[in-house]
Amino acid sequence: KYCDRGSLHQAIAKGLFKSSSKWNNKIALRALLRTAREIAQGMSHLHTCRVVHGDLKPGNVLLMSSRADRRGFTAKVSDFGLSTYCMASHTSVTRWSTVSYMAPEAFEGHLTMGSDTFSFGVLLWEMYTGMYPYSGLQAAQIVMGVQAGQLSLEWPPDSDPRIVDLVEGCIQRNPAARPTFNQLISQL
């Protein structure tokens, strides 16, 4: 399908999910949750087919015009170049995706369905805060910090506890402790 509204990365950069003169806090949060739900539905479909995306990030979510709601778009997961069919509980990989969104186990060459959930958590954090994850750090610092569990996403003081809990559940170190996309859909 033709996605004429750009990427989620561009929408975040424009402050689409922040309150403004056009949208109040409630409407901005509703737009964020609806968009996150559409992404989770796309990821759930992939996981039902036993496919791990492997590179979920805002630049790989495209927006297509839609009159279904006030946002004016629907979100579509894209760029399956690093996707892998996963027969077992995990699959081994030799290629890396964008380090800011990678799960700890991915740095060791293991991808799981939970690796995509971790990436989704970082993506959701970015949608909510409008900030790039681990901004100012070099790739090697991110890799070492995430692997060691010494690097965390910083939340603004007035963050919505529902979003914080959702993201924190997604970015747990243990892949088995992370929610599935079906569980996330029910929470969104």
Please tell me which residue in 55, 79, 116, 165 is annotated as part of the active site.
55
Largest Cα–Cα separation, the chain: 49
pLDDT at 131 over 90: yes
Which residue from 77, 60, 47, 55 is spatially nearest to 9, judged by alpha carbons?
60
Calpha distance 156→91 (Å, rounded): 35
The mean of the pLDDT values for the chain is 86
What separation in angstroms does the CA of 151 have from each of 27, 102, 105, 142, 183? 31, 12, 15, 7, 26
pLDDT of the residue at 93: 47
What's the pLDDT band for 110 if we cut at 50, 70, 90?
A: confident
Which superfamily is assigned to 8-176 in CATH? Transferase(Phosphotransferase) domain 1 (1.10.510.10)
pLDDT at 66 over 70: yes
Helices (H), 2-78: 8-13, 25-48
CA 101 to chain centre: 8
pTM tops 0.85:
yes
Calpha distance 46→105 (Å, rounded): 20
What's the pLDDT band for 90 if we cut at 50, 70, 90?
A: very low
Domain ranges of the chain: 8-176
Q: How many CA atoms lie within 13 A of 24 on its CB side?
A: 1
55 is a catalytic site residue = yes
Q: How many CA atoms lie within 13 A of 89 on its CB side?
A: 3
Span 132-153, average pLDDT:
91
What separation in angstroms does the CA of 50 have from each of 36, 75, 81? 21, 21, 15
pLDDT of the residue at 38: 97
